[in-house]
Amino acid sequence: MAKKILIVDDEVHIKMLLEQTLEELEDEFEVDLYTASDGEEGLEFIRSKRPDLVFLDIMMPKMNGYEVCRIIKDDASLKDVKIILLTAKGQEVDRKQGLELGAMMYMTKPFDPDEILRVSKELLEL
């Protein structure tokens, strides 16, 4: 079964950047890429499609990344969803909070596309 990656970000360019970065996986390992533009949409997608990996921005309209993270972790049925918080909030408290809420990783923008690719492969065990 094809692995699913969800990108949740309100910034169109970042979404595009991530998409283009991860396209390689799509081609090579038949990973499916999905995107969402805000927290609510992202949460809805996670609940319905259960992606394997989520790149989640924190500052987003409607629902922020922390909330999405918390809700997912509170939902036992979604415990396998791996979340990488990918955000411009680089402060230590933010990182701490994110990791406490159950994110697998906390990455800060600007990111290196190669690093994203490497981490994704690792987490998806590809």
Number of residues forming the site for other proteins (CB under 8 A): 21
Q: State the Cα angle at 2 between 56 and 84, rounded to 5°.
A: 15
Measured from the CB of residue 75, what is the shortest distance to other proteins in angstroms? 29
Q: Is residue 89 close enough to count as binding other proteins by CB under 8 A?
A: yes
- Candidates 25-33, 40-48, 64-72, 112-120: pick the segment binding other proteins (CB under 8 A): 112-120
**Token couple for 114:** 């190669």
Residue 53 phi, psi dihedral angles, 5° rounding: -140, 135
Q: Per CB under 8 A, does 118 bind other proteins?
A: no
Provide the Cα torsion 31, 29, 98, 57; round to 10°.
-50
CB of 16 to other proteins, least distance (A): 8
